[in-house]
Amino acid sequence: MLTEQPVFSTLKKWLSVSGGTFHPSAHFQYAEASGNSVVAAEDIPADTTIVACPFSLVITEELAQKNISKLISTDSVTDWTERQWISAYICLHWLNMTTKAPELEHYPYIACLPASDQPMTPLHFTEPELQAFKGSNIYQATIDRQREWRAEWQQCQSFIAGQNGEWGRKFTWDLYLAAATHISSRAFPSSLLDPNPTLVASEDTKPVLLPGVDSLNHKRAQPVSWSVTFPNSNVELAAPASGNRQPIISLVLHTATATGDELLNNYGPKPNAELILGYGFSLPDNPDDTILLKIGGIDKKWEVGREAQGAGAIWDELLQVIQQDAGGDEQEDYETQMDTADTLASMVQILLEKLPTEEKIKGIEIRQEVKRMWKDYIRGQREILSSLLDFCQQKENEAIELARSKGVDLVIEE
Ligand SMILES: C[S@@+](CC[C@H](N)C(=O)[O-])C[C@H]1O[C@@H](n2cnc3c(N)ncnc32)[C@H](O)[C@@H]1O
């Protein structure tokens, strides 16, 4: 029999009285590598609903704003982002953990969040660990994120301090960082709450926290499905005390889980850069890996995947730029194609040379988990860049063929 910490039994009861469910054979367990996990205490067949959360417990920007406004006047706040509202809401629970201010509704959930000393996202790296990523996209993305979140925290902190001096003093950067990291590592897109739920975020989706549902760890390509249902009017549990029947979001696992095995969710296809930055872990040889590329002087970024997937878009842009530089139609097609392949290959070569190497980071003190992420990520970046060099070579060969078809023999100088 697996024993669970009382906070998890409380979470399950809280979900259930509000109309949600947590499978009776799904038990919480702590694992060194991935924090809390959920395991099967008995065999669980395929196509079973593991956890369901009523919409009333979902933490959205609106819910956070509504509940915070019951504690302090927020009329003058007009420009907080959803991360600021939800982070402030989480932090206010932490600041009121002993008094349990009744305006805040999510104590049973907040009590189950992993401790703030556990995250392995880059904002929790030591300075030398971050330096080990210098020359990769993650390095700059971490610096940008740190700047953005600190500015958000300062704005929230000075507002809260103006309302309640004690809370203001306790609303530290570390507290905000812990809350914002919970959002980046556990939130789902609000598109999951649509009648046809989808993990595919669009421009107007926002992060939402789904208590209980966010307890499962990730496995790539794990067959799961999401459903939004309206409770059956015969089901007593689905009608909370208020009598308001409300939709429920459920997570169904489509594979059977044997006793003792972990129940795993699928967060969607994510490259290691996103897994490391947002969640603090990586997958070895991640097929969903991508690299972000920029062309000097153009603001846009292009995402290229393994086997140079998506390289066509940056190729087309570069081709156009080179064509314009060469004076429009005055240059032969094959010459433009040759120049473009050459330019792209040089850009890729520079990026390859900038990437950190084992040699360069020798002697830097790096925790084992960070080193694992570093290896998975840097290897992925290197492999994508190599596939881009192959792509350029292929374009060059095509240019030679095109020239030949026009009676020109191109001689490539090494
Ligand atoms: C949505 S939460 C899942 C529950 C979490 N383990 C907990 O302790 O509450 C996401 C976090 O779980 C951990 N995690 C999820 N999937 C993982 C995996 N495949 N490998 C390592 N850690 C994982 C990471 O720390 C991630 O930030």
Query: Ligand 1 in contact with 222 (CB < 6 A)?
Result: no
Q: How far apart are CA 338 and CA 404, in angstroms?
A: 13
**Mean pLDDT across 75-80:** 95
- Interface predicted TM-score (ipTM) over 0.95: yes
Residue nearest atom 4 in ligand 1 by C-alpha distance: 215
Q: What integer pLDDT is reported at residue 253 of this predicted model? A: 98
pLDDT (tens digit, 9 = 90+) per residue, 181-217? 999 999 999 999 988 899 998 889 999 999 999 999 9
Instruction: Output the CA 216–ligand 1 centroid distance in Å.
Output: 7
Q: What integer pLDDT is reported at residue 231 of this predicted model? A: 67
Among candidate residues 7, 140, 209, 167, the one with its CA nearest the CA of residue 71: 167
Three-state DSSP class for 250? Answer: strand
CB neighbours of 136 closer than 8 A, spacing ≥ 6?
354, 355, 356, 377, 378, 381
Average pLDDT, the chain: 93
Three-state DSSP class for 148? Answer: helix
Residue nearest atom 15 in ligand 1 by C-alpha distance: 217
Residue nearest atom 2 in ligand 1 by C-alpha distance: 186
Probe target for ligand 1 pocket from 185, 217, 276, with the most ligand atoms within 8 Å of CB: 217
Q: What integer pLDDT is reported at residue 146 of this predicted model? A: 98
Query: Ligand 1 in contact with 109 (CB < 6 A)?
Result: no
| CA pseudo-torsion sign 324, 325, 330, 336 | negative
Residue-wise burial string across 85-106, b where 16 or more C-beta atoms lie within 10 A, e elsewhere? bbbbbbbbbbbbeeeeeeebbb
Flag whether pLDDT at 240 surpasses 70: no
Residue nearest atom 27 in ligand 1 by C-alpha distance: 279
The phi and psi torsions of 56 (rounded to 5 degrees) equal: -65, -20
pLDDT band at 239; cut points 50, 70, 90: very low
Neighbours of 44 (CB within 10 A): 22
Probe target for ligand 1 pocket from 59, 112, 279, 368, with the most ligand atoms within 8 Å of CB: 279
- Quick check: 392 and 163 in contact, CB under 8 A? no
Q: How far apart are CA 15 and CA 54, in angstroms?
A: 8
Probe target for ligand 1 pocket from 208, 218, 219, with the most ligand atoms within 8 Å of CB: 218
- Quick check: 276 and 373 in contact, CB under 8 A? yes
**Mean pLDDT across 22-27:** 97
Q: What integer pLDDT is reported at residue 46 of this predicted model? A: 98
Atom of ligand 1 nearest to the CA of 264: 16
CB neighbours of 223 closer than 8 A, spacing ≥ 6?
253, 254, 255, 266
Q: What integer pLDDT is reported at residue 233 of this predicted model? A: 46
Please list the residues that pair with 178 across neighbouring strands: none
Q: What integer pLDDT is reported at residue 328 of this predicted model? A: 67
Flag whether pLDDT at 58 surpasses 90: yes
Q: What integer pLDDT is reported at residue 238 of this predicted model? A: 43
Residue nearest atom 7 in ligand 1 by C-alpha distance: 36
Query: Ligand 1 in contact with 35 (CB < 6 A)?
Result: yes
Residue nearest atom 19 in ligand 1 by C-alpha distance: 218
Instruction: Output the CA 34–ligand 1 centroid distance in Å.
Output: 5
Percent of the chain at pLDDT > 90 equals 83
Q: What integer pLDDT is reported at residue 241 of this predicted model? A: 46
Residue nearest atom 1 in ligand 1 by C-alpha distance: 186
Q: What integer pLDDT is reported at residue 94 of this predicted model? A: 96
pLDDT (tens digit, 9 = 90+) per residue, 110-119? 999 988 777 8
Query: Ligand 1 in contact with 186 (CB < 6 A)?
Result: yes
Percent of the chain at pLDDT > 70 equals 94
Please state the separation of Cα 188 from the chain's center in Å: 9
Pairing of strands 217-218, 264-265: parallel
Between the alpha carbon of residue 386 and those of residues 6, 339, 378, the distances in Å are 51, 19, 12
Instruction: Output the CA 324–ligand 1 centroid distance in Å.
Output: 48
pLDDT band at 297; cut points 50, 70, 90: confident
**Mean pLDDT across 130-143:** 97
Instruction: Output the CA 18–ligand 1 centroid distance in Å.
Output: 25
Flag whether pLDDT at 234 surpasses 70: no
In 49-106, alpha helices (H): 61-71, 82-95
Query: Ligand 1 in contact with 182 (CB < 6 A)?
Result: no
Flag whether pLDDT at 27 surpasses 90: yes
Query: Ligand 1 in contact with 115 (CB < 6 A)?
Result: no
